[in-house]
Amino acid sequence: MKLFDNGVDQIGVMLGGLARWTDSRLDILAIHSDQENTGQCRWFFKDAKRQFKTICVWAINDQVLQAALERYGFTPQTEIDGKGEVLTGMRWDA
């Protein structure tokens, strides 16, 4: 996993998190915006959908984020990682 951020944009909102990625897939463990309800996650996922064929968001502990992901076209996902641990989250495929 690597930390990521979009820097600070023109209105001073920072979006960051913890993720890993390949050329075609983005797996997000944590995502954070320093200001709620500013559309930062929406713009982040819109841009990510242009760059990746698959996006997964794991460890969702926020009903607002889950509802937003559903609006953005994500569906429930369960996978088993290389260590045999069951992962649950949301997934989007191009």
**In the beta sheet, which residues pair with residue 87?**
79
Straight-line distance from the first to the last Cα atom of the chain, in angstroms, rounded to the nearest whole number:
23
Q: How many domains does the chain have?
A: 1
pLDDT tens digit string along 2-20? 445 544 443 344 567 788 8
Q: Which range marks the domain in which residue 17 is found?
A: 2-93
Residue 54 sits in a domain whose CATH number is: 3.40.630
CA-to-CA distance for 13 and 8, rounded, in angstroms? 6
Read off the pTM.
0.80
Q: Tens of pLDDT along 29-69? A: 877 766 667 677 888 888 889 999 999 999 888 888 889 89
List of E strands, 1-94? 2-8, 14-21, 25-33, 54-58, 75-80, 86-93
